[in-house]
Amino acid sequence: MNSILRAILILIASTCGQAIAGANDEHADNGKQPNIVLFFVDDLGWYDLGYRNPKFETPHIDQLASESLDFQRAYIASPTCSPSRATLLTGKHPARLQMVRHIPNDTKHGFDEFGRTDKEFNFWEGDPAKFPCRNWLPLEHTSYAEALNELGYYNQFFGKWHLGHEAFHPIKQGFDGQVGTTNAGHPKSYDPPFFKNSDVFADVQDRYLTDALTDQSIRFIEQYDRAQPFMLSMWYYNVHRPPVGRADLVKDFEAKGYSKVDAVYAAQVKAVDESVGRIRQAIREKGIGENTIVIFLSDQGSWYQNLPLRGNKRVDTLCEGGARVPLLIHWPGVTKPKSKNNSLVQSTDLFPTLVEIAGGDHAKHPDLDGVSLVSVIRENSTLDRGEPLFGYRAYQDLYASVREGDWKLLAYRSGKVNLYNIAEDESEQNDLAQTRPGIAKQLTKKLVEWEERMNVEQYSGVK
């Protein structure tokens, strides 16, 4: 009798377990389009988060990281303001877009005091290639907002744009609304008044800029009542210069013994962290947390050193300290807590990933230079993208990088190349171009072929 009862209990437990597992599987992938929140931080170094560096206090981002798939080898295709945004928006490499420098917005380059120009291209005095770089992102490129709009999403934009003046603003590029957007690449201050020659947030008297943007984003979440899913794009001005931290946070860090410079930067980082925490709390209070995907990344390395990585946004920017960025993806019911992934991924991959998450077919969008990460996210598998990651800029002698497997090639307009084994030499100190000439030659050849595909071979330093 006991054995029969035991068998019945086992059968019941097994059936219930299967039902629960089935319910969880359905919850993880029930065909319902998820909301998407994208946090895009300006100039945040890979090591400038509390869970990687105790110098910084980022409890909310640390919590997000603990719940997310944390990509350890994520790179920006052209680590600088405007190109990084153009690529994130379109899935196309900056070289293809002819936007391989920031939009300068100054009178020296033909802009008026409002950050407007009718000149399509600018040239950089220090650029040895004399590469003509666009002053706005042309409207003919499909943005992720336009792609998601076709799939039924409402798209709301907050913050820094830096992809052209009013005729090219977010609401002209597929977003249904924009808040806090100007023609400027950075504010004149994070304390009011925030911007020169702009009425954006002109009525804000006593709020830190990041907090003012966060207030508006929370209001959007609280008041959202549409039947369609939404994508909220929060493109922070912080932690870009000017070095202005929120006064109370700066005071706290100075009281802990930080220098003035360190206290200000730590305060800027913490302001972003507080924003992430407040927005995620609003999502939970709205009751939509279980159907909201959160993505967090930076547009390039910090203004400051990002040791032990070499380079930052000012020097050796295509090195790990300038081009490698944080990338966290939290997909409730899909990603597993505290999971890490060492695949080589790039900002070009976000557009096709967003389209697939939304239920679309990214193959319908031509000339994408990235691949969808959805299967990698679901399975935490290793991505085989079939070709290297290419970095490209047009400021100084160092202009291109090729990242394949453990190897990284740096290419210069003057014709020289450096080769590093990143797995063994993360700080890029031991140049192996002379001792491993075969690998250097192979990666150089792939760079030349890629330059031809991007139609930038006339500017090559290694052709």
Closest CA to 411 of 387, 429, 390, 425: 390
- Within 10 angstroms of residue 424's Cβ, the number of other Cβ atoms is 9
What confidence score (pLDDT) does residue 18 get? 38
What confidence score (pLDDT) does residue 438 get? 98
Closest CA to 217 of 174, 158, 167: 158
Strand bridging mode 292-298 / 35-41: parallel
CA 246 → CA 60, 190, 204, 241, 404, distances in Å?
A: 17, 8, 15, 13, 41
What confidence score (pLDDT) does residue 26 get? 35
* HEC sequence for 334-370: CCCCCEEEEEEEEHHHHHHHHHHHCCCCHHHCCCCCC
Q: Where would I find the H helices in 287-336? A: 320-323
What confidence score (pLDDT) does residue 236 get? 98
Tell me the residue type at 243: P
How far is it, in rounded angstroms, from Cα 77 to Cα 345?
Answer: 10
- Within 10 angstroms of residue 423's Cβ, the number of other Cβ atoms is 11
How far is it, in rounded angstroms, from Cα 68 to Cα 336?
Answer: 7
Give residue for tokens 């009718």. 118
Residues paired with 240 in a beta bridge? none
End-to-end CA distance of the chain: 83
What confidence score (pLDDT) does residue 292 get? 98
Residue 144: helix, strand or coil by DSSP? helix
Tell me the residue type at 48: D
What confidence score (pLDDT) does residue 348 get? 98
How far is it, in rounded angstroms, from Cα 26 to Cα 29?
Answer: 5
What confidence score (pLDDT) does residue 30 get? 54
Using one digit for the tens of pLDDT, what is the confidence trace for 99-140? 999 999 999 999 999 999 999 999 999 999 999 999 999 999
Render the burial of 110-142: b for 16+ CB within 10 Å, e for the rest: ebeeebbbeeeebebeebbbebbbbbbbeeebb
**pTM of the entire predicted model:** 0.93
CA 452 → CA 134, 440, 457, distances in Å?
A: 19, 19, 5
How far is it, in rounded angstroms, from Cα 249 to Cα 209?
Answer: 14
Closest CA to 74 of 400, 410, 350: 350
Using one digit for the tens of pLDDT, what is the confidence trace for 383-392? 999 999 999 9
Inter-residue contact 295 to 65 (CB < 8 Å):
no
Tell me the residue type at 426: E
Strand bridging mode 154-159 / 398-404: unpaired
442: burial class by Cβ within 10 Å (0-12, 13-18, 19+)? Answer: middle
Residue 67: helix, strand or coil by DSSP? helix
The parts of the chain modelled with pLDDT lower than 50 are 1-28
For residue 17, what are the contacts with CB-CB under 8 A and spacing of at least 6? none
Domains and CATH numbers, the chain: 34-386 (3.40.720.10), 397-459 (3.30.1120.10)
204 backbone dihedrals φ, ψ, rounded to 5°: -80, 125
What confidence score (pLDDT) does residue 463 get? 83
